[in-house]
Amino acid sequence: MKKLAVVALGGNALLQSNQTGTIDEQEANAYATAECLVKLLQRDYNIVITHGNGPQVGNIMLANTAGNKLYGLPEMPMDICVAYSQGFIGYIIEQQLKNVLEACDMDRDIITIATQVLVNKDDRAFQKPSKPVGPFYVKEDADKIKTETGALFMEDSRGRGWRKVVASPRPLVIINKKTIEKIAREGHIVIAVGGGGIPVFYVKPHKLQGIDAVIDKDLASALLASQINADKFFILTDVPKVCLNYNTPEEKAIDRMTIAEAQDYLDEGQFPDGSMGPKIKAAIHFVEHSGKDTIITKTTLLGIDNGGTRITLV
């Protein structure tokens, strides 16, 4: 039986920080990412792909606001913006992965699933929004938008500017997880939990409803990986390995660490929430609930022996 892997794509899988986000740019990035994903297929894995949507959903929100101001179009809530992003990002990944598969003489169906994720409407995250979305702003522009709209902004830990922050509740249940697992184990490629999933809650028994939030993509991916019994969880980012004392003269790359060590480093403040922190938390969640490994690495190192940082149970 083939192994099953969940691969959480980083934001740079579709959009680089120095790009404007044209469709040509996103398709080219998706194609390069797909070439790396094929390495896992060639190593006898079935795969489920998840992805972020921070830049894209931010642009959707900007278009939303502009359409309202210029033409009186009704603004859509955050859950609908996430659903929009799942559709168009899934389409780009599907198409470019199909192109790469055909170039490699491989035949797999690729299915994008608009994925709802259950959250608790009373999650404390709604009292303290912390999830960055959308483009980076200089402080003056962020302050102006805050005054006009009441939106909250946070300075990026890597000095790239200021971004809007929204609530990021903990994901509880991946809806349709059984179908996602079934399709993937049959050998098809599934794209799911885009942008962390569409956040929903039960407004009353038997009635789901969307809620204004963005779920962390890596944590939702870890939950999905554990709930579908994945054999491996890959978190792709823009650095080859997790580092201690990142971006300082004492920077040190980590080849392997246990979840106990990872938690200690978190507690020390080595992995900030606005940077590597959510990925480490997601890795810990998957390893704790599955006993299997998580690997955090750069997209180009996917499927390479000893590539990236391996997080293990012991």
- Which active-site residues does the annotation give? 11-12, 131, 217, 279
d(CA 117, CA 200): 6
Cβ contact 55:84 at 8 Å:
no
Q: How many other CB atoms sit within 10 Å of the CB of residue 198?
A: 26
d(CA 251, CA 169): 32
CA-based R_g, the chain, Å: 19
């938690």: which residue's tokens? 263
Maximum pairwise Cα distance, the chain: 58
**Contacts (Cβ under 8 Å, ≥6 apart) of 275:** 157, 158, 246
Return the half-sphere exposure (C-beta side, CA atoms, 13 A cut-off) of residue 175.
Answer: 15
d(CA 258, CA 314): 5
* Among 4, 1, 3, 35, CA closest to 180: 4
Phi, psi of 302 (to 5 degrees): -60, 130
